[in-house]
Amino acid sequence: MAFAFPYFLLALVPWAAVTLWLLVERPRRVRVPFLPLWRGPAAVPRQRSAIQWPPVSLAAAMAAMLLAIVAAAGPRVRGAASAGALTIVVDRGITMGKSSRMHQAAEAIAAQLPGSGVVDLVMVPDGQLRRMDRASWLGAVRDSAVTAVDTSSDLTTVVRARLRESAGAVVVISNRALSVSDRRVVQVAPEGPMQNLGIVAIAARAEPSPQVMIRLKNEAALTEATLVVATAEHRLSQRVVLPSGGQERSVFVDLPTLGPVVSAKLQVEDDIAADDQAFLVRQRSWPRIEARLALPPELERMFEVYAAHRPPSATSQRVSIVGDAAAAGGSPAIIIPPLPAASTRPADVRVSDHPVVRQADLAAVLGEVRLAAGPPEGDWTPVLRLGGQAAVVVREAPARQAWVGFGSESLARSPQFVVFWSSVLDWTGEGGESFGWSLPQALGSGWRAWEAGPPAGVQAGLWPGVWVHADGRMMAINAPAVPLEELALRTEWRAQLRPLLAAGAGARELSGGLLAASLGALAVAAITWQRRPAAAGVAA
């Protein structure tokens, strides 16, 4: 028998001391009501200590404590090799490089395994456990391919789960440093150093002039490379000078126009193909609303509906809702000043040709309005005047800001209320079209590759490319920026694996059964527990 946490066994020392103290018989105490009743000294025979068995309830409670202490120590019984004792975890993350490197590592492991037995195969990303015989697991690995996913966190989670759920060796094919220390973990890394030149970031803008930015990182012995940027009917190829020593460099490419899809590809032979290409798709981007004051119920409800129908993205502008211009500072903001209780009907409604007020038919729905004292000082442009007084003013610098100094119950009950405030939020947060991309993720049904699909053995969405949904949505998938790591293993994996295979490492965990027995003993103690009877008195 072995223990996973033997230091818990130190609790047996105080448990043994208490148990011994309870077993030793001591003289019984007798309650004496009145000392004067004694008429003279009486010879009391001296009682000798002896072993006395405690009541059933107390014995059950002590047994429950013993079982709980031993269970906490993690006992396991070792025996012959069990069929499911060996787990093989295969890292299909981006840092593994070419799929051939992963296949070669799997073949090296297969050469060390006996011909019979069962293997629990887990591939990351995926995480599903597949139980198969040792003659077929290698074929399953050969049929799979490396993805563009950063598996650093998922890999550690899977390894720890297999250590908890199994008792045998856990062989990990990966070149990532594992934050797991256990003698049962055997890590096998693909042989040889890696050379990589990759695209770590891509962005595009349509105004003031179409331009694409590509950031390159060179972790290879290369000095130049060919970069090809394409969009719509335009295709531009150019030689770029590369940085050295793992440094980065941004390359800016001017184009006549930008189509719905922008692609950048490196024509290079290196160890990681996933980051040799990057894509952008034209998409809508909406602001992120941050209210810093208490809002009227109709406005609070309006902002909730806007955020639900136009959810923000990672690149969205943050628009603050404040009560005065000083609180807005130099960031995008909507200023809603306090309004008086009294309302008036404006003599006229003058609407400028501006995106904030262009879409809403305010003149048709405005009745009684409450007007703030006046707009803030500064370079503001009125876009809505009610009875000659500025009710909505805007400015472009230092950031897009809008001051809305009126309120109307008739407008709040009209659909034009939604149109007006949506326009205010869109303009302030610069909502509209932009170019974006996402990290690799498993895509469900309804998605198809826009052009070339992923390599064989790679699920849709786990490789860079452009994907189109049946409803017309487009998504660009790009590889994450993951630095290469020089993994230095402390021991040679073959020397570590052989004794684990020889011993079988087929241990049976006993903690669960011991904890169940401890709870049963506690139940017996509770059922049989009795109140202590009162000490007997002495008759006069």
Q: How many CB atoms lie within 10 A of CB 7?
A: 9
Element (H, E) at 291: strand 288-291
Task: Answer whether residue 44 is part of any domain.
Answer: no
Instruction: Mark which of 193, 220, 249 sits at the end of a domain.
Output: 193
pLDDT at 53: 75
Q: How many residues does the chain have?
A: 540
Same domain, 365 and 309: yes
Residue 404 to residue 421: CA distance in whole angstroms? 10
Give pLDDT, residue 49: 56
Residues 346 and 467 in one domain: no
Whether residues 259 and 144 fall in one domain:
no
| Phi and psi angles of residue 284, each rounded to the nearest 5 degrees, phi first | -90, 140
pLDDT the model gives residue 538? 46
The answer to the question of residue 489 being in a domain is no
Closest C-alpha to 428, from 302, 334, 354: 334
What pLDDT does residue 540 have? 40
Q: What is the pLDDT of residue 433?
A: 72
| Domain range for 22 | 2-37+49-78+511-528
- For residue 295, the Cα-to-chain-centroid distance in whole angstroms is 33
The confidence score (pLDDT) of residue 405 equals 95
Residue 536 falls inside a structural domain: no
146 and 203 housed in the same domain: no
533: in domain: no
Q: CA of 429: how far to CAs of 128, 298, 333, 336, 404, in Å?
A: 43, 20, 8, 16, 15
- Give me the tens of pLDDT residue by residue for the chain, a chain 540 residues long: 667 677 788 888 998 888 888 777 655 665 656 555 555 555 555 555 566 777 888 888 889 899 899 888 877 665 544 434 689 999 999 999 999 999 999 999 999 887 667 899 999 998 889 998 888 899 999 999 999 999 988 999 999 999 998 888 999 999 988 888 888 999 999 888 889 999 999 999 887 889 999 999 999 999 999 999 999 889 999 999 999 888 999 999 999 999 999 999 999 999 999 999 999 998 877 899 999 999 999 999 999 999 988 888 766 789 999 999 999 999 999 999 999 999 999 989 999 999 999 999 999 999 999 999 889 998 999 999 999 899 999 999 899 999 999 999 999 999 999 999 999 999 998 866 778 899 999 998 889 998 888 888 899 999 999 999 988 888 999 999 988 876 666 568 888 888 887 665 445 667 788 888 989 988 888 888 876 555 444 444
436 bridge partner residues: 281
Q: How many domains does the chain have?
A: 4
Residues whose CB falls within 8 Å of the CB of residue 279, separated by 6 or more in sequence, listed in order: 202, 261, 262, 263, 264, 437, 464, 465, 466, 476, 477, 478
Q: Is 205 helix (H, G, I), strand (E, B) or coil?
A: strand
| Alpha helix (H) residue ranges in 173-296 | none
Each residue's pLDDT tens digit, 49-108: 566 777 888 888 889 899 899 888 877 665 544 434 689 999 999 999 999 999 999 999
What's the confidence (pLDDT) of residue 505? 46
| CA nearest to 66, candidates 17, 3, 20, 16 | 16
Pairing of strands 381-386, 349-351: antiparallel
In a domain, 188, yes or no: yes
Helix/strand/coil for 254: strand
The first and second tokens of residue 329, run together, are 């500072």
Residues 257, 124 share a domain: no
In a shared domain, residues 113 and 71: no
Whole-angstrom Cα distance, residue 424 to residue 333? 10
Alpha carbon distance 320, 334 (integer Å): 6
- Supply the pLDDT for residue 81: 42
CA 267 to chain CA centroid, Å, is 33
Report the C-alpha gap between 439 and 274 in whole angstroms.
12
Sorted by sequence, the CB contacts under 8 Å of residue 105 that are 6+ apart come out as 173, 188, 189, 190, 191
Residue 54, pLDDT score: 79
Looking at the fold, whether 384 and 412 belong to one and the same domain comes out as yes
Residue 276 per-residue DSSP state? G
User: What pTM did the predictor assign?
Assistant: 0.58
Last residue of a domain, one of 175, 193, 211: 193
Which pLDDT value is given to residue 472? 83
503 located within any domain:
no
AA letter at 241: V
Q: Is residue 502 part of a domain?
A: no
Q: Is the dihedral of CA 6, 8, 13, 19 positive or negative?
A: negative
- Assess whether 293 and 426 both reside in one domain: yes
CA atoms within 13 A on the CB side of 416: 17
Q: What is the spatial distance between Cα 496 and Cα 185, in angstroms, rounded to a whole number?
A: 9
* Separation of alpha carbons 196 and 218, rounded Å: 7
Last residue of a domain, one of 193, 223, 246: 193
Beta bridge partners of 477: 438, 465
Q: Does one domain contain both 248 and 274?
A: yes
- List pLDDT tens digits, range 389-439: 999 999 998 999 999 999 999 999 999 999 999 999 999 988 667 788 999
